[in-house]
Amino acid sequence: MNKEIVLTGIKPTGKVHVGNYIAAIKPALQIAIVSDCTALYFIADYHGLTFIQDKEEYNHLSYGIAATWLAMGLDPERVIFYRQSDVPEIFELNWILSCLTPKGLMNRAHAYKAILDKNEQLGVDMDSGVNMGLYTYPILMAADILLFQSDKVPVGKDQIQHVEIARDIAEGFNRNFGDTFKLPKYVVDEYTAVIPGLDGRKMSKSYNNTIPLFESTEDLKKLINKMKTDSTPPNEPRDPDTSNVFLLYKEFATPEQIQELRNKYLNGISWGEAKQELFQVMNDYLEEPRKKYNELMGEPEQIDHILFEGAKKARAMAAPILEKVKTKIGRYR
Ligand code: ADP
Ligand code: TRP
């Protein structure tokens, strides 16, 4: 029987933060380890280009994402790990799908609509700051997904609509040209659906409230100390289940440590101490990966090598599917 295909990508548009790790990277790594699937994880660098148009920054962020996956334990023998821009088949399919996608479907995409709303509020031209790549972003994402006949796409909540659009595009193609694409399903880890940032809102680089995954020990400590907490006085019991400090703690601690801190909360630990405990487990957890990350960032050739090997495997999988698509649309005699 064919193995299930699990695929996901992350666009390099900022430093990888704890929210990205907990909601996107950690569950994806877990799936690759525990389930008998074919996992394809990639750096969505051409999606990143819709936002990052500075040579140094683009380059640094792309390698940064690759180094993060590897430092957090991605095994390239087990996962097909590649850079989107090394797989030209994706961009050929992107064009074919573009021609079959109604413009109205893009008009309804949340990310685009959010920019229109913002422009309206600011009273500037509604298309201000919108490039065509951004506008058709969901079609490229559909190409990423459909080209590999993906069954499952692990993503954060904000990406659900994009996976649904990929499904719509696949259905449209299948209706027109006969059964070709599998219909992908998103996988969202409900429990960690939204990781809060320093100010309590969703952790996001757009809000400038993130804890980057590979900060130095000192900066990590400073950031954790900045986390917003309520004004429960010291020595009063506090509810671990409504505490953002506890929420993050649970992601990095052992079950015994979690139980211990839970008890301390009920006995009235101060926020300062709770933050110190969070810092300790996070720092321990991230110490080795941080070393590996810095090592890899100092040897980008090693990253290139891994990504090229991954791209070879990805292209070998993609080629027959693209041929099938081209046959269906009438490209061949
Ligand atoms: P950001 O919001 O910082 O720009 P991205 O949009 O690049 O992050 O997100 C990359 C991945 O991480 C996506 O799958 C997204 O859903 C997930 N993600 C980002 N921030 C969070 C968060 N605070 N909680 C849950 N998931 C998140
Ligand atoms: N749009 C996704 C994000 O912003 C990144 C992405 C690009 C992706 N192509 C994908 C995710 C395909 C899953 C599958 O996070």
Considering only CA atoms, which residue is closest to atom 19 of ligand 1?
A: 20
Ligand 2 centroid to 220 CA: how many Å? 27
Asked whether residue 209 is domain-assigned, the answer is no
Task: Indicate the residue type of 292.
Answer: K
Residues 6+ apart with CB under 8 A from 320: none
Q: How many CA atoms lie within 13 A of 217 on its CB side?
A: 9
Q: Which of 159, 84, 136 is nearest to 318 (CA)?
A: 84
Domain with 156 in it: 4-194+300-329
14, 140: one domain: yes
| Stated pTM of the model | 0.94
pLDDT digits (tens, 9 = 90+) for 68-80: 999 999 999 999 9
Q: Ligand 2: residues within 6 Å at CB?
A: 7-11, 44, 47, 141, 144-145, 153, 155, 159, 162
Q: Look at residue 157 in the predicted model and tell me its pLDDT.
A: 83
- Which ligand is located closest to the Cα atom of residue 211? 1
Ligand 1 centroid to 20 CA: how many Å? 5
pLDDT digits (tens, 9 = 90+) for 143-193: 999 999 999 999 888 899 999 999 999 999 999 999 999 999 999 887 766
* DSSP single-letter state for residue 233: P
* Total domain count, the chain: 2
270, 124: one domain: no
CA distances from 60 to 126, 295, 300, 306, 309 (A): 31, 14, 10, 17, 20
Q: pLDDT tens string for the chain (333 positions)? A: 689 999 999 999 999 999 999 988 999 999 999 889 999 999 999 999 999 999 999 999 999 999 999 999 999 999 999 999 999 999 999 999 999 999 999 999 999 999 999 999 999 999 999 999 999 999 999 999 999 999 999 988 889 999 999 999 999 999 999 999 999 999 988 776 688 999 999 999 889 999 999 999 999 999 999 999 998 888 899 999 999 999 999 999 999 999 999 999 999 999 999 999 999 999 999 999 999 999 999 999 999 999 999 999 999 999 999 999 999 999 998
CATH number of the domain residue 160 falls in: 3.40.50.620
- Which ligand is located closest to the Cα atom of residue 155? 1
Contact 213, 286 (CB under 8 A): yes
Considering only CA atoms, which residue is closest to atom 4 of ligand 2?
A: 11
Asked whether residue 207 is domain-assigned, the answer is no
Residue whose tokens read 């953002």: 244
* DSSP single-letter state for residue 153: E
Asked whether residue 24 is domain-assigned, the answer is yes
Asked whether residue 202 is domain-assigned, the answer is no
Ligand 1 centroid to 175 CA: how many Å? 33
284, 307: one domain: no
Q: How many CA atoms lie within 13 A of 109 on its CB side?
A: 25
243, 183: one domain: no
Ligand 1 centroid to 304 CA: how many Å? 25
321, 183: one domain: yes
Contact 61, 52 (CB under 8 A): yes
Residue 80, ligand 1, Cβ within 6 A: no
CATH number of the domain residue 270 falls in: 1.10.240.10
Lookup: tokens for 242: 């409504």
Give the SS3 label for residue 212.
strand
Residues that constitute the known binding site for ATP: 11-13, 19-20, 156-158, 195, 202-206
Considering only CA atoms, which residue is closest to atom 13 of ligand 1?
A: 156
50, 161: one domain: yes
